[in-house]
C-alpha cells in the first residue's frame, strides 16, 4: 500500500474513531470509508506497516489509532492548516 493510501487510512481511522486513541474500527468500515467495495481486487488492506510505526494497534474487532497516531494526525493537520 502506498504512503498516500496509508495516510488516507489514518484519516479514516481518525474520522471513524472520533479522533480518539484505542477505539477499534472494523476493517470492513475502513474499507468502506476509503472506497473499497466487496470483491475489490486491489491489495488487501494491511495496517501492519502503520503498526510498525506505532501509529495504530490491532484490537479485538479491528484497528485503533494509538496516542502516537492521534498526535501524528493532529500535527499533520496543524502543519497543513486543516
CATH code, domain with 38: 1.10.10
pTM above 0.95, yes or no: no
For residue 45, give the 3-state DSSP assignment.
coil
The CA distance from 36 to 43, in Å, is: 10
Residue 58 confidence (pLDDT): 92
How many folded domains does the chain comprise? 1
Q: Residue 25 — φ and ψ, nearest 5°? A: -120, 130
Of 46, 36, 76, 37, give the one whose Cα is nearest residue 56: 46
Residue 66 sits in which domain range?
Answer: 3-80
Residue 75 confidence (pLDDT): 92
- Digitized pLDDT (tens) for each residue of the chain, 82 residues in all: 677 777 888 999 999 999 999 999 998 898 888 876 665 545 556 688 889 899 999 998 899 999 999 999 999 889 888 7
Question: How far, CA to CA in Å, does 13 sit from each of 51, 59, 67?
Answer: 13, 13, 13
What the block records as the C-alpha cell of 48 is: 501492519
Amino acid at each position: 500500500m502506498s504512503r498516500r493510501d496509508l495516510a488516507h487510512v489514518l484519516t479514516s481511522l481518525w474520522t471513524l474513531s472520533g479522533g480518539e486513541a484505542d477505539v477499534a474500527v472494523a476493517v470492513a468500515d475502513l474499507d468502506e470509508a476509503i472506497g473499497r467495495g466487496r470483491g475489490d481486487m486491489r491489495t488487501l488492506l494491511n495496517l501492519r506497516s502503520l503498526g510498525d510505526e506505532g501509529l495504530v494497534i490491532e484490537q479485538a474487532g479491528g484497528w485503533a489509532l494509538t496516542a502516537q497516531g492521534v498526535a501524528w494526525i493532529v500535527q499533520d493537520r496543524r502543519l497543513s492548516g486543516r
